[in-house]
């Protein structure tokens, strides 16, 4: 016996299925507009907003939270920027780990987990990226938005055909929404230019001594697993690089080239701070990776990169058996922040910043990042 479904019934079933899918998609879309739930640790002594320092951001999607961790003894000041490019997820997760675990006994650590807050409200269209990082902790599931390297186009539409930043450097129009192409920013510019202007204002008003901007790069890009420093910062960058190598962490260093709009160039030119940009490996954004799944986001294991690695097309030693997982990338960033702080203290002892509570490289690899992101 066969059953025939009336055309009208079939149409109603299709509409019902579309409604269910649309509802699920809409719910996730709306979730991305909600701020991540953070759990400030015992070291956090104060919070604020970037708009407190730069009123042009107040009430805009570019305004973002700042966490202050101040020690009881005087010393230097370090600013860590996470989420400049939100799809480079280890930078944001590292910043959260600092906020929720670090305790400062001397000097001050200041963390902006979402430098590009607008970019956390959507994912790059047509790439199928996971909208959330889902980590299973001992206290339950922890969801953290991923996002995009650009600000949300809904927040600064339309893009120009060609974008010229405040230094005169020219880029494709979409780069007007890329925080790391718009420094030092403009008061009357695009939203990301105002964010950059706010960060510069914050650094100068707070007399920050060291800025560390956390990023990731694809394995086929030569700027991967490296530190890029402003020319005034190279003594500190070199000392930190040597210490990381001595710990068995493969890393390169570069001096900031004569390109403008980048944090490592223009923060150094427009403030008195030392500046370093740190890059780890990011398989998820690579041109050769497979499906962008939650598993790939977390473990960084992709057999296609075994092939291109054997052919010498990447700038890191990649093995899918080992992967390039989130825990390892965060461990690199945390160790880099610590060693840059140590190097600055060696060069200028009055700018010492002493931090405790941050897991070391080996412990983090052994225990997993989930251990340090369990809500307390």
CA distance 53 to 306: 47
Contact 242, 235 (CB under 8 A): no
Contact 104, 355 (CB under 8 A): yes
Each residue's pLDDT expressed in tens, for the chain with a length of 376 residues: 555 566 766 666 666 655 555 554 456 556 777 888 999 999 999 999 999 999 999 999 999 999 999 999 999 999 999 999 999 999 999 999 999 999 999 999 999 999 999 999 999 866 788 999 999 999 999 999 999 999 999 999 999 999 999 999 999 999 999 999 999 999 999 999 999 999 999 999 999 999 999 999 999 999 999 999 999 999 999 999 999 999 999 999 999 998 899 999 999 999 999 999 999 999 998 999 999 999 999 999 999 999 999 999 999 988 888 889 999 999 999 999 999 999 999 999 999 999 999 999 999 999 999 999 987 6
Instruction: Domain 45-372: give its CATH architecture.
Output: 3-Layer(aba) Sandwich (3.40)
pTM of the model: 0.93
Neighbouring residues of 270: CB distance < 8 A, sequence distance ≥ 6: 183, 184, 200
CA distance 247 to 245: 5
């Amino acid at each position: 016996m066969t059953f025939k479904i009336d055309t009208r019934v079939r149409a109603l079933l299709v509409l019902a299925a579309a409604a269910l899918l649309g509802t699920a998609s809409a719910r996730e879309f709306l979730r991305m507009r909600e701020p991540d739930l953070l759990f400030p640790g015992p070291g956090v002594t104060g919070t604020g907003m970037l708009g407190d320092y730069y009123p042009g951001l107040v009430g805009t999607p570019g305004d973002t939270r700042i966490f202050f961790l101040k020690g009881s003894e005087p010393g230097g000041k370090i600013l860590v920027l996470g989420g400049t490019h939100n799809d480079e997820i280890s930078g944001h997760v590292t910043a959260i780990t600092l906020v929720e675990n670090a305790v400062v006994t001397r000097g001050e650590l200041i963390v902006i987990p979402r430098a590009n807050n607008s970019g956390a409200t959507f994912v790059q269209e047509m790439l199928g990226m996971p909208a959330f990082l889902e980590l299973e902790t001992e206290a339950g599931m922890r969801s953290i938005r991923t996002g995009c390297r650009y600000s949300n186009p809904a927040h600064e539409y339309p893009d120009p055909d060609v974008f010229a930043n405040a230094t005169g450097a020219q880029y494709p129009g979409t780069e007007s929404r890329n925080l790391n192409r718009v420094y030092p920013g403009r008061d009357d510019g695009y939203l990301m230019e105002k964010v950059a202007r706010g960060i510069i204002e914050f650094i100068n008003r707070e007399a920050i001594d060291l800025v560390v901007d956390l990023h990731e790069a694809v394995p086929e890009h030569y700027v991967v697993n490296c530190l890029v420093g402003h020319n005034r910062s190279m003594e500190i960058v070199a000392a930190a690089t040597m210490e990381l190598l001595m710990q068995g962490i493969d890393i390169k260093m570069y001096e900031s080239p004569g390109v403008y709009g980048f944090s490592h160039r223009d923060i150094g030119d427009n403030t008195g701070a030392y500046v370093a940009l740190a890059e780890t490996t990011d398989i998820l954004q690579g041109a050769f990776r497979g499906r962008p799944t939650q598993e790939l986001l977390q473990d960084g294991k992709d057999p296609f990169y075994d092939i291109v690695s054997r052919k010498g097309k990447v700038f890191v030693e990649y093995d899918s058996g080992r992967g390039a997982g989130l825990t390892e990338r965060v461990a690199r960033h945390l160790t880099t922040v610590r060693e840059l702080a140590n190097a600055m203290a060696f060069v200028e002892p009055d700018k010492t910043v002493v931090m405790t509570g941050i897991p070391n490289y080996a412990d983090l690899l052994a225990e997993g990042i989930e251990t340090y992101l369990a809500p307390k």
